[in-house]
Amino acid sequence: MLSRVAALVTAMQKAAADEQSLQDAGSRFHSLLEKINSLEDADKEIDSLQREGKLDPALMLTMAKAYSGVKESPYVKEEVKDIMAHLYFKAKESAARDQPPEVRILKHLLTIEGSRELREALDQAFTPPEDGAPSEGAEQDYLFTTPPKLTQYVDSILVAYDTQREGTNLLGQTAKLMDPAVITRLRDIGQLIRRSYM
């Protein structure tokens, strides 16, 4: 897990530093803009890029910069800003689907305030679907994991955070972005899982 986090940060840093990959991503983004005639076309095209593995860090960075550039400009029509926002957030959503279920579950758990609601969400996360698979045409993914797997992800994130705080690896910049309140919540979630589910 720690190596996956390190690899992701390294990929983003590498993409930002690699001029050729940014130029290629710019060309792919330009091609995407030329192909689409509607937001539905854009959604299909972004999903296609994601399935083909072409929704890489360089393209995500290019889309983020394009969106950031138009949203702050007083010279761009609101409609263009809305389209760029839609493209960027759709790409983020598509890329998020590639995350392991444990990461997606943890993100959800971190949004829950009450301890009772947190326990209910953990119960749901640790309960496999009755038929073993999500229902056909389901609007939402049914995410399932086991207590040991979820605890492993919590522990990996905490180890990465602690290591980064000490400045002993390349991810030190990322540690500054981690909110101590989030880390405290992760520690609490990990303890709750160990006490109640293992």
Digit-coded pLDDT (tens) for 12-32: 555 555 677 778 888 888 888
User: Based on the number of CB atoms within 10 Å of its own CB, is 185 exposed (0-12), middle (13-18) or buried (19 or more)?
Assistant: middle
Separation CA 198–CA 194 (nearest Å): 5
SS3 75: coil
Within a domain: residue 179? yes
Q: What is the pLDDT of residue 135?
A: 44
Number of domains in the chain: 2
Asked if 34 and 86 sit in the same domain, the reply is yes
Domain end, chosen from 52, 80, 96, is at 96
Sign of CA dihedral 168, 174, 179, 185: negative
Domain end, chosen from 81, 96, 111, is at 96
Which residues of the chain fall below pLDDT 70? 1-18, 131-141, 164-178
Contact at 8 Å (CB) between 120 and 112? no
Asked if 65 and 127 sit in the same domain, the reply is no
Q: Count Cα neighbours of 69 within 13 Å in the Cβ-side half-sphere.
A: 6
Domain end, chosen from 96, 111, 135, is at 96
Paired tokens of 97: 């689907």
Within a domain: residue 10? no
Asked if 92 and 105 sit in the same domain, the reply is no
Separation CA 176–CA 173 (nearest Å): 6
Within a domain: residue 113? yes
Within a domain: residue 144? yes
Enter the DSSP assignment of 18: -
Structural domain for 150, as ranges: 101-197
Asked if 108 and 191 sit in the same domain, the reply is yes
Asked if 89 and 44 sit in the same domain, the reply is yes
Asked if 150 and 166 sit in the same domain, the reply is yes
Q: What is the pLDDT of residue 63?
A: 86
Q: What is the pLDDT of residue 146?
A: 93
Q: What is the pLDDT of residue 12?
A: 53
Asked if 155 and 192 sit in the same domain, the reply is yes
Separation CA 151–CA 142 (nearest Å): 19
Nearest CA to 126 out of 150, 106, 108 is that of 150
Paired tokens of 130: 């009755």
Within a domain: residue 6? no
Asked if 36 and 85 sit in the same domain, the reply is yes
